[in-house]
């Protein structure tokens, strides 16, 4: 049995009736897809690692609140790139359903790990967008403040908003994970 067929059986949980929809899963374009995604993710890991180093060791003390939110965003993006590199999801449609097929290294362990990593990736993407929105609002508000006390209040509000967003994402991840199904529908 070929490696491609083994991977398909692993993903589809041996439901042979669903396999014709995924015969193209590990073809040449998927190899190109995996190489492109892994290259982008490795570059993102490297860039965010350098960014975190610069934030931690090269940021002036008067920009602490600004650097804290940048640090949180960089950590979320770093984790997102790591999750993306592990699962390398492909979105396919079959029988009117959207199916995520993982073609990354996580398939060597099992579908539940792939789904867990994908849940982390999806939550990080949403959290990153939310944190960037908070960051833009912070920049607009801090430019309008005139006194040091007003800036301290804005900095405190920034910390609360970023913490609330992270707590919300952490609470939503298990919901996303448990909403997934590993059962392949019979057509």
Name the band, by pLDDT with cuts 50, 70 and 90, for residue 46.
Answer: very high
Which pLDDT tens digit goes with each residue over 141-154? 777 777 777 777 87
- Residue 91: beta bridge partners? 100
Residue 70 contacts residue 55 (beta carbons within 8 Å)? yes
Of 132, 46, 38, the residue nearest 85 (C-alpha) = 38
Which pLDDT tens digit goes with each residue over 166-186? 788 778 878 777 776 655 444
Residue 133: CB atoms within 10 Å: 12
Beta strands in the chain (DSSP E): 89-94, 97-102
pLDDT of residue 186: 46
Does position 18 have pLDDT exceeding 60, yes or no? Answer: no
* Own/partner pairs, 70-75, CB within 8 angstroms, 24+ separation: 70/135, 72/131, 72/162, 72/166, 73/128, 73/131, 73/132, 73/135, 74/48, 75/48
Residue 137: CB atoms within 10 Å: 14
pLDDT of residue 50: 96
Residue for token pair 């579908």 = 111
pLDDT of residue 16: 43
Q: Of residues 159 and 105, which shows the higher confidence score? A: 105
Tokens of 105: 């290294």
pLDDT of residue 180: 66
pLDDT of residue 183: 55
Residue 48: CB atoms within 10 Å: 20
Q: Which of 3-12, 82-91, 164-173 has the highest mean pLDDT?
A: 82-91
DSSP of 164-187: HHHHHHHHHHHHHHHH---PPPP-
Average predicted confidence (pLDDT) for the chain:
76
Q: In whole angstroms, what is the distance from residue 5 CA to residue 138 CA?
A: 51
Which pLDDT tens digit goes with each residue over 86-102? 988 887 777 777 777 78
Picking from 62-66, 118-122, 178-182, which range would have the lowest pLDDT averaged per residue?
A: 178-182
pTM above 0.85, yes or no: no
Of 93, 118, 88, 82, the residue nearest 103 (C-alpha) = 88
Does position 45 have pLDDT exceeding 90, yes or no? Answer: yes
């Amino acid at each position: 049995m070929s490696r491609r067929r083994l991977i398909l059986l692993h993903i589809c949980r041996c439901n042979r009736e669903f396999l014709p929809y995924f015969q193209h899963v590990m073809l040449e374009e998927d190899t190109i897809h995996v190489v492109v995604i892994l290259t982008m993710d490795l570059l993102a890991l490297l860039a965010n690692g350098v960014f975190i180093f610069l934030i931690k060791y090269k940021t002036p003390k008067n920009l602490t609140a600004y650097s804290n939110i940048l640090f949180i965003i960089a950590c979320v993006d770093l984790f997102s790139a790591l999750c993306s590199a592990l699962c390398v999801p492909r979105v396919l449609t079959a029988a009117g359903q959207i199916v995520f097929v993982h073609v990354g290294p996580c398939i060597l362990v099992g579908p539940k790990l792939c789904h867990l990593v994908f849940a982390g990736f999806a939550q990080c993407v949403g959290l990153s967008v939310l944190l960037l929105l908070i960051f833009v609002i912070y920049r607009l508000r801090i430019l309008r403040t005139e006194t040091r006390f007003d800036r301290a209040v804005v900095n405190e509000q920034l910390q609360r908003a970023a913490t609330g967003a992270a707590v919300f994402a952490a609470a939503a991840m298990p919901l996303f994970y448990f909403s997934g199904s590993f059962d392949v529908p019979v057509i």
